[in-house]
Amino acid sequence: MQTLTAELRKDIQEIGNRAAHLETRVDEHSAAHNCLAYKLQELTSNMEKQSNKLADLEDRLRRNNLRFRGIPEKVGNNDLDRYLQEVFLQLTPELHPDQLIIDRAHRLRRPAHLPTSSTRDVIARIHFFHAKERILRATRNAELPDKFRDIKIFSDLLAETLQFRKSLAHITTALRGKV
């Protein structure tokens, strides 16, 4: 009986030692997991901040750009500057042509989801920021002649920025209603 009891004690002692070792290992793994979870949260936060900074930087680089939708495809790349100058003079006759300098203008690739019959957007960089702003303001208020009726003019912003603005649309609508 004593030998049996001694063996049982020895087995129980071994099981206790193994359980203590396992508890120690679980504590170590739990601490390592918590450290990794904290680092992941920190890295995610930093990545989100960097992504926002990068989007802001890219939007700032595009701030003099205008996006045109609806310019006929028959207007070739060589004629875009002249065509856009005509549009600008119709919208902002108060600006001198020297203020309506276009640094560059080009057509974008057609998105895959659009039919081949649709026109490609045009991006133009306006040299003077104040002229670009006047053009945008004029598009909200002015009616273009028939020759330019189908043209729509937008600021050139990142898709992420547009999506973010769209998510805040209900707030901005409510604020505009209160003003």
CB 109 within 8 A of CB 120: yes
| Range of 2-11, 19-28, 90-99 with top mean pLDDT | 19-28
CATH of the domain at 126: 3.30.70.1820
pLDDT value of residue 114: 81
Q: Based on the domain organization, do 88 and 31 belong to the same domain? A: no
Q: What is the pTM of this model?
A: 0.72
The reply to whether 67 falls in a domain is yes
* pLDDT tens track for 72-87: 999 988 899 999 999 9
Residues 28-51: what's their mean pLDDT? 97
The reply to whether 170 falls in a domain is no
Q: Based on the domain organization, do 68 and 146 belong to the same domain? A: yes
